Every structure is written in structure tokens, then in C-alpha cells.
Structure 1
Amino acid sequence: MSAHSPRRKRSPWTILVAIVLTAVVGFPIYWMLNTALSSQRVLYTEPQPLLPQLGNWEELADDLDGVPVVSMLSNSAIIAIGTTVLTILLATLCAYALSRYRFHGRGLVSFLLFSTQMVPQAVFLIPIYALFLGLGLVNNLWGLVLVNAAFALPVSTFIIKVGMDGIPYELEEAARVDNSPPLGTLTAVLLPLVLPSIAAAAVLAFFAGWGEFMYAATFVTGREMWPASVGLSVLAEQPSSSMPAIMTVATLFAAPAVVFFLLVQRHIVSGLTAGAVKG
């Protein structure tokens, strides 16, 4: 008898529903790409064709002339990657302390940490701006990394902590018998076991940094420092901007986030549901 349980056969209705949902969710992305490849004349004088028109490259290049697409995407990448790295580093250490150490006020620390999610981010806009103005972090990408990491930290800490709570203490005790220091135990024993939780937290942090708009539009004034979210907004507000050019930038802006999600999607569900089942 095989050690693996037989894979359950999917019904035709399940497959049909999956196809319909995929088409509904994917159609806006397809239409965005189709619009980016269409001619401006076709969009405003004729019904938009269902199939992308591939002969619009010269017109599209002229429409995007002067738009710092590479610079905007690079700035967004710096913010997103910086936010993800800083968030995961701090959230892992914070989750380890809350999960493995017993100290007075631990419940209060957890409450204060997660109570920040009860207040809209816009409430903190003016105080953070005044603070960053004094620290010289206005019109600075690293300031956006700090503010996005601060807002992504509580949820990421909770996700990683739940994963650590499901790991038996006996594994750490065995490491301590071998004279492993706490940091060594964390990196060598716990981290490999909570990688799904870290991947789920990394996705949330990356999306928070990649899609940053409110603080970037307020703190960043130089055109060369615009992330793609702000640059796309400014491009869409200009009357001279063509719809294909706007949709091209939007497609390039959405693509990295989709790729990053696909790379770590295997770990997301297991990371978000870690500790949900006990037994």
C-alpha cells in the first residue's frame, strides 16, 4: 500500500468554476495590456479589438518619451525591497521574543503593537512629516522604507509569531544542550521551520512598499525620487498623456508584484494558516 494518500479527483464543476474565476480576475489585467498595445486613434474612434495590436511600438515610444519609467520602477524597487528586508528582520526578532520569552507586560506589548492597526495611516501623516523634517528624511527613499516597515511590522510579527508558537520547545532545548546561543538557535533551528510564515509576511511587506502612495506623494517632492505609484498618478492627470502610455506604465508597475507573488505563493497559505490546527 502506498504511503501517500491518493489524490482526490476534481469534479468538472470545480474545474469550470476555477476557469470562470480565473477569467474574471485575469480579464482586467488582459484588458490593461491590450489597451497598452492599442493605438490612441483606435481607442477613441473605433471599438477596441479583443486581440492586442502589435504594430503600435513607435507611437508608444513617442508617448513615453520623457517619462522616467526606469527611474520610477527603480525607486519603487528600493522602497519595496528595503521595506521587506527591514520588516522581516525586526518582525522575526520581535516574534521570537513574544513567542519564546515570558516577561511582565508581554500582553501589553502585544496589545500596543497591534493597536497601531486600529488607526488609519492618514492620522499619522502630519506627525511623521514633522518628525522626518527634523531628521532630514523628507524627499528621501529611506524615509519611506522606515514608515512602510513601521506599518507592516505588527501584522508581520503576528504571522511569524503564530508560526513559532507551533514549534515544540524540545527542539530549542536540544540546541541549548549543544551550547547553542539564543541567536544561533533562532537562525539554525526556528527560521528554517517558519519559512512559510516568513514568506507570507514578506509578501505583505513587499506589497505595502511597492504600492506606497500616500506617504510618497507627501514626502517626496523631486521628480527623480518618484516611485512608480506617484509617477503613474501624475502621468494620468496630464491631459497630454495617452491611454496606451498610461496602461503601459501600469502594466510595468503591476508585473513585479505579480511575479514576486508567484514565486512565493506555495508558502503563503501554509504560512497564513500556521497554528490554526492543533492536535
Structure 2
Amino acid sequence: MTRSEFISHAALVIIFVLAGLAIFPFYWMFVTATTSDANMFAASPQLVPSLSQLGIFAQIFEEGAVKTWLANSFIIAAGTTVLTLALAIPLGYAFARFPFWGKAGVGIGLLVTQMLPEAVLVVPLFSIFSPLGLLNSYAGLILANTAFTLPVITWILKNAFDTVPVEIEEAAVLDGCTGINALVRVVLPVIMPSVAASAVIAFFHGWNEYVFALTFITNDTLKPASVGLAGFIGEISTPIQSVMAVGVVYTLPAVALYLLMQRFIVSGMAAGSVKG
């Protein structure tokens, strides 16, 4: 075996090991969800799922609360993604293309906001949202999540816009495009991989966010799955199988979105290539 073959085989083994480590927590949740009470605390752990216990996934949907939580999480995450991209695309484009007074200060200010954890912002945001009627509403959580993700997404898109030559836009304008049309029809397709990655980041934050949702939402019908799942933990007992089953169901949409967007990123890179 040559040295290059050894390195390629070693790299392949490392990739498989890392993939296994990433998949194992999800697999273990599924195994635990399908473990009977008799085997839950047995001396030897159950390493494979028991197909006879798959009914637990039907049981968690019987009351309807899990479906409501998942729907709420999707609305909040989708709203966060759409609003973040709607604000970050023009803001990132302005940073990349136009000089304006205070540009450096605004850019630094966006970075400084990332130094503050969510727990520090809960009380100020609660004081602001309360008189505005934004508590116990999707809008309040979407605005809070957007404020937290917007600085990061803006810088990601700003760097993406920087890689696009200005001459491409100038040529589009000479062909009759307005500035906005050039941005939408010429520039955005080129940076679509970055837009897709930004959408994934924003969606994951809205889907997994817990602190704001726990504080701003007290209505049970508006709670997202992140808060509802934590409610399974009881003072005396915790239904471990139900917790793990909901955890599996809660993880699946995020994983599916990532796989879907991963393919979209690859197609976006091919569609956005520029021929010289």
C-alpha cells in the first residue's frame, strides 16, 4: 500500500468514526424510546431498538400537545428565518457595496451584540415587549430570535457579497436591470450557497431556542417543542421513553431541513458559478 493510499484509507476511517459519533446520540434516543420498563434499568443495556415498543411514537401524539408544540416551533423558526434573511440581505449588501457615515461603528456594534448572552437580555426584552403586547405571541419570539441572529447572518452575507465582482452588476445595469433587479436576479444566485447556509443557521436558532420561549410564553397552546419537552421532566418521576420519543420526533425536522439545504447548497454553487 502506497503512502497516498494509506492516507486516504485513514481519512475514510476517521470520517466514518466522526459520522458514527454524530449519529450515535440520535440512535441512542431511539433505542431508549423503544426500551420497555423492565429493560430500562437492567444490568446489561439494550443496544438495539425493540420494534414491539414502536407504539410509543403513536402514544405521544394522542393528547395533541406534541403536535401543537412542533407546529409552534415550525412557525417560530420559519418566521425567524424569513425575517432574518429579509433584513440581512439588504443590510449585508449595503455594507459590501455602499460607503456611509458610521459604517465601521455599525459593523462593530453588530459584533458587540454577540457578546451578550440571551439570559442577560431576557429582562430588558420582557420590559419592552410587555407594554407592546408582544408577550404570549409568535411575533415577540420571532423578533427576539431575529435580533439575536441578524448580526451573524449580516456578516456572513456581507462577506459573500464581497466575493461578487462589481462589474457583474454594472453589466446587468447596462443591459437594462435596475439596482434591485441586479441584486435579485444576478447577485443573489451567485451567493445562494451563503444564503442557504444563513437560512439553516437562522432556522436552527429559532427551532432550538429555549430561554426566550420559556420567559415570554406562558400560554400552553403557544409553547414551542423546546419548552414543552422540558415540561416532561417531573418532580417525582419522568417518563423516559416519552421524553426520548419526543426528542427523536423533535430532531427529525431539523435533520431533514439540513439534508435538504445541503443539497440545495451544492446546486446553488453550481448555478451560481460564473463563466469567464
TM-score, normalising length from structure 1? 0.88
Partner of 2:87: 90
Q: Is the 8 A contact 1:144 1:216 kept in 2?
A: yes
For 2:47, what is the secondary structure of its paired residue? coil
Gaps of 5+ in 1: 1-7, 272-279
2:160 equivalent to 1:163: yes
Superposed, 1:176-255 pairs within 5 Å as: 176-237=173-234, 239-255=236-252
Q: Please, which of 138, 158, 163 is the counterpart of residue 141 of structure 1?
A: 138
Partner of 1:109: 106
Change (3 A) 1:54 1:86: same
Identity over aligned residues, as a percent? 41
For 1:203, what is the secondary structure of its paired residue? helix
Q: Is the 8 A contact 1:95 1:158 kept in 2?
A: yes
Ranges of 4+ aligned residues in structure 1 off by more than 6 Å: 267-271
Q: Is the 8 A contact 2:56 2:241 kept in 1?
A: no
Cα distance in 1 for residues equivalent to 2:57 and 2:262: 33
Q: Please, which of 65, 68, 84 is the counterpart of residue 68 of structure 1?
A: 65
Which amino acid is 1:201 matched to?
Answer: S
2:96 equivalent to 1:99: yes
2:18 equivalent to 1:25: no
Cα distance in 1 for residues equivalent to 2:132 and 2:234: 32
Residues 73-132 of structure 1: per-residue CA shift (max 9 Å, x gap): 000000111101110111001011111111121111111122111122221111111111
TM-score, normalising length from structure 2? 0.89
Report the RMSD for the aligned CA atoms in angstroms.
2.2
Partner of 1:275: none
For 1:235, what is the secondary structure of its paired residue? coil
Which amino acid is 1:224 matched to?
Answer: T
**Deviation, structure 1 residue 62:** 4.9
Which amino acid is 1:185 matched to?
Answer: A
Partner of 2:272: none
For this pair of structures, how many residues does the alignment match?
264
**Deviation, structure 1 residue 239:** 3.7
Cα distance in 1 for residues equivalent to 2:69 and 2:38: 27
Cα distance in 2 for residues equivalent to 1:63 and 1:102: 55
Partner of 1:121: 118
Change (3 A) 1:64 1:240: farther
Q: Is the 8 A contact 2:200 2:258 kept in 1?
A: yes
Q: Is the 8 A contact 1:139 1:225 kept in 2?
A: yes
Q: Please, which of 77, 80, 93 is the counterpart of residue 77 of structure 2?
A: 80
Partner of 2:259: 262
Residues 12-55 of structure 1: per-residue CA shift (max 9 Å, x gap): 21111112222222111111111111112220345332111011
Q: Is the 8 A contact 1:60 1:244 kept in 2?
A: no
Residues 202-247 of structure 1: per-residue CA shift (max 9 Å, x gap): 1110111000100000000011111000000011235444211000
For 2:100, what is the secondary structure of its paired residue? coil
Change (3 A) 1:24 1:57: closer
Superposed, 1:26-65 pairs within 5 Å as: 26-45=23-42, 47-58=44-55, 61-62=58-59, 65=62
Residues 174-226 of structure 1: per-residue CA shift (max 9 Å, x gap): 12223422211110111101101111111110111000100000000011111
Cα distance in 2 for residues equivalent to 1:53 and 1:169: 59
Cα distance in 2 for residues equivalent to 1:62 and 1:202: 33
Which amino acid is 2:252 matched to?
Answer: A
Change (3 A) 1:270 1:188: closer
Change (3 A) 1:59 1:29: closer
Partner of 2:13: 16
Cα distance in 2 for residues equivalent to 1:177 and 1:269: 30
